[in-house]
Amino acid sequence: MRAAVRHALPMIAMTAGVVALQLVISAADRQFYMTQLVMALYYTIVVMGLCLVMGYAGQVSLGHGGFFALGGYTSAILTTRNLAAHLRPETLQTLERIGLLWSRTDLYGAPLATLAPWPAFVAALLLTGAVALILGFPALRLKGHYLAMATLGFGLIVYRMLLGSAFTGYADGITGVPPWRLAPGVTVSGAMDNRIVNYYIACGFLLFVLWFLRNLTGSRHGRALRSIHDSETAAKAMGVNTPRLKLQAFVISAVLAAAAGSFLTHFNGGIGPSEADAMKSVRYLTLVAAGGMANIWGAMGVSLALTFLSLRGVFGVYDHAVFGGLLIVIVSVAPNGPGRWVADLLRRRRPTVRSSGAAAEPAT
């Protein structure tokens, strides 16, 4: 019983912090902070998923910006393409009745029937999981910098395809993405009066991801992933199926990135190709390294703080330079994460205490 309570205390504290932060922001009448805060929460989910790949499976991925954009663009395309001209009215009514379609009118008053956000969300996860499976099967057999280059190439391919395709809106991206529809007649958009509702949705999703990753890393599979990170050769010798576990961690991380991209696309009402830019993937990697490779709590806290400051424009034109410099310093000084570096530093500075019952040295 005590162990269960002790395990639940961090989640309770996190939930209390979420509510307290919302109350403070409301009391200060600073609702414009909500947009940046919600965006920071969704970007943090990508970082937490990448922490599973880097900190536990011991792999370096520079393609998570592509997975984020893939999830967002899939939801955007499926929820903005008009199906009214391609389906019979009876079919449209049936699909709308079961919740798969969403009928409305466009800006010019013409009938518009698109896929509902929830089915589009599921389709985005399935597509991204399939792409990650296809990419990860050969790529995860590479090691070191070769894997990083392979995933970086994937991200660059996605970025160029989104930037140069009329189907994805070229550099303008896709706009007019409908908000979430929680129930018939009840929608959630990014408008001012709904920012608090979106904030709680983002926090709820973040808490779910935190609970899921903590249980996963604390399970038998998590211990097997730790063994791969420490020594893949030793893990193989102990009978651990290292290719399968690394592939599973990679696919889970990619699906979490796609889920965050889909949620953020519906919150913002659109998405652009900049989400697949290589610098976004480098930033995710930097935040994982800054929080500690195998420290989900640390990665979450550092990502929330630095991403929120970046979105607020605190770093100005030096934004990319700050994250790049931070990555260089961490890799040079604390490759295992600042938290472990501080702990090791304190351990070395701790004075050695002799036992009071130790025998005195004989006089010479």
The pLDDT tens digits for 183-193 are 545 555 544 44
User: Helix, strand, coil % (nearest 5) of the chain?
Assistant: 70, 5, 25
Domain parsing of the chain, residue ranges = 15-22+32-79+116-312+320-335, 86-115
Gap between the terminal Cα atoms of the chain: 58
pLDDT of 8: 47
Question: Of the ranges 103-107, 251-255, 328-332, 347-351, which is most confident?
Answer: 251-255
pLDDT of 182: 56
Average pLDDT over residues 105-132: 87
Question: Of the ranges 88-92, 99-103, 259-263, which is most confident?
Answer: 259-263
Judged against a pLDDT cut of 70, whether residue 16 lies above it is answered with no
- pLDDT confidence tier of residue 294, bands split at 50, 70 and 90: confident
Record the pTM: 0.83
Tracing tokens 């959630």 back to the chain, one arrives at 188
Q: Residue 29, CB half-sphere, CA atoms under 13 Å: how many?
A: 0
Residue predicted with more confidence, 37 or 348 = 37
Judged against a pLDDT cut of 70, whether residue 339 lies above it is answered with no
- At 143, give phi and psi (nearest 5°): -135, 155
pLDDT of 146: 77
pLDDT of 350: 66
pLDDT of 231: 79
- pLDDT confidence tier of residue 262, bands split at 50, 70 and 90: very high
Give CA–CA dist 364/362, Å, rounded: 6
- At 268, give phi and psi (nearest 5°): -80, -20
Task: Classify 15-22+32-79+116-312+320-335 by CATH class.
Answer: mainly alpha
Q: Could you give the angle at the alpha carbon of 153 between the alpha carbons of 150 and 159, nearest 5°?
A: 150
Residue type for 321, please?
A
pLDDT of 28: 40
pLDDT of 183: 52
What secondary structure letter does DSSP report for 194?
A: G
Give CA–CA dist 71/124, Å, rounded: 5
